[in-house]
Structure 1
Amino acid sequence: MIFFMVPISKDYLEKLSVQELVHLIKTQNGSFEKESQKLDDESELVSCTEAEQMEWLQNVQNSGKPKKLLIELLF
């Protein structure tokens, strides 16, 4: 199976729900074997395990934090 990266605009991402963004990030990491990342307390991207990223994504989703945090992971 061949995967292609398709450019996605920030405008498009801002229209997605938090749940859709979480799904997109999970799919991207699984499909492209990209290193898992999350945002630390200072909003800096840091490397993490897939399990740590999943926990972070769940916390973001449950806390109602801005979608901007999730969009940062895709750029």
Structure 2
Amino acid sequence: MNSSIVSYPNRGPYGSSESRGNCSGHLIADLLDYYQTKRFVEVFAGGGTGADVAKSKAIRSIHIHLSHLT
């Protein structure tokens, strides 16, 4: 049984799957499309997935990873 509410056969060309907790860029792309987003702020940006998606959609964005804050 699949325990996820979303499922993508592959993660796509977005970000690094090495980052713990990283989701598929397809999920982020679907949400940005659904809400017709013009700007995007991401606070858990360790793997670069959100930045890659925003760049591919020409959406203005800011990406911060909490481990980089002091």
Q: Is TM (by shorter chain) over 0.5? A: no
**Superposition TM-score tier, normalisation by shorter sequence:** under 0.3
Relative contact order (C-alpha < 8 Å, sep 6+): which is higher? 1
- In the superposition, the TM-score normalised over structure 1's length comes to 0.26
Q: Which has the higher helix share?
A: 1
